[in-house]
């Protein structure tokens, strides 16, 4: 009876604590990530071309901001999940196993099950970290994207040719879309 109550407590804690963590909020891909090339190659004035490229870059930056926010939310959610796993492992290994071991009438299988849960929690945390799925790896990916975005912005500001600037708009989309969680490895 004691271990069922502890299990309910652990499950309730995880549900309450981690229930709000939503790592699955995906960033929608833009409907048309290509710059408005027709205005750049047509008979538009220099000011119209400049305005079109600036509008395209603004849309690319907005998309990239969504990507960066996505990684930040994902890192926060991962923190919640890892903390929840750690709490369950700590309660199982540090509270429930000793309490059950102290009772002479409890079965060995219950003690072993709770001890196993504690070990699984530790292994899960270690596995997530070594696979690059911990929050620091996710934030490192976010930082790499932000650095790449900053580099493209500097290149865009230094360039005057609208066609080359439109190439930089495409480059902006590519640095935000084509990225991996590498964990600095």
Residue 37 maps to a domain = no
Whether 101 is covered by a domain: the verdict is: yes
> pLDDT for 46-65, tens place per residue?
888 888 888 889 888 988 99
pTM to 2 decimal places: 0.67
CA distance 28 to 48: 29
pLDDT of residue 185 exceeding 50: no
- Judge whether 88 and 9 are in contact, CB under 8 Å: no
The residue segments making up the domain with residue 100 are 2-15+47-177
Q: Which helix (H) or strand (E) holds 5?
A: helix 2-18
Of 154, 151, 164, nearest in space to 50 by CA: 164
Give me the pLDDT at residue 146, please. Answer: 94
Mean of the per-residue pLDDT values of the chain: 77
Dihedral through CA 97, CA 103, CA 107, CA 108, nearest 10?
50
Specify the number of domains making up the chain.
1
Tell me whether residue 74 is in a domain: yes
Residue 114 domain-assigned (yes or no) = yes
Q: Which residue has the tokens 């009772």?
A: 103
Provide mean pLDDT across the span 89-105: 80
**pLDDT tens-digit readout, 102-119:** 776 677 787 888 888 888
What is the reported pLDDT for 19? 42
Q: Which tens digits make up the pLDDT trace of 117-171?
A: 888 888 887 777 777 778 888 888 899 999 999 999 999 999 998 889 888 998 9
Residue 36 belongs to some domain of the structure: no
């Amino acid at each position: 009876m004691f271990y069922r109550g502890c299990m309910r407590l652990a499950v309730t804690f995880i549900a309450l604590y981690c229930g709000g963590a939503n790592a699955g909020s995906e960033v929608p891909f833009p409907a048309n990530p290509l710059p408005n090339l027709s205005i750049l190659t047509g008979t538009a004035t220099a000011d119209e071309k400049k305005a079109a490229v600036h509008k395209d870059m603004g849309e690319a930056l907005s998309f990239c901001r969504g990507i960066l926010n996505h990684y930040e939310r994902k890192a926060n959610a991962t923190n919640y999940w890892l903390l929840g796993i750690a709490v369950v492992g700590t309660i199982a290994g540090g509270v429930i196993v000793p309490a059950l071991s102290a009772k002479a009438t409890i079965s060995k299988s219950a003690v072993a099950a709770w001890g196993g849960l504690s070990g699984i929690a530790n292994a899960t945390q270690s596995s997530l970290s070594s696979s690059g799925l911990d929050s620091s790896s996710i934030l490192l990916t976010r930082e790499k994207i932000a650095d790449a975005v900053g580099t493209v912005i500097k290149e865009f500001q230094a360039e005057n040719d609208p066609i080359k600037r439109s190439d930089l708009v495409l480059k902006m989309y590519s640095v935000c879309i084509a990225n991996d969680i590498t964990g600095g490895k």
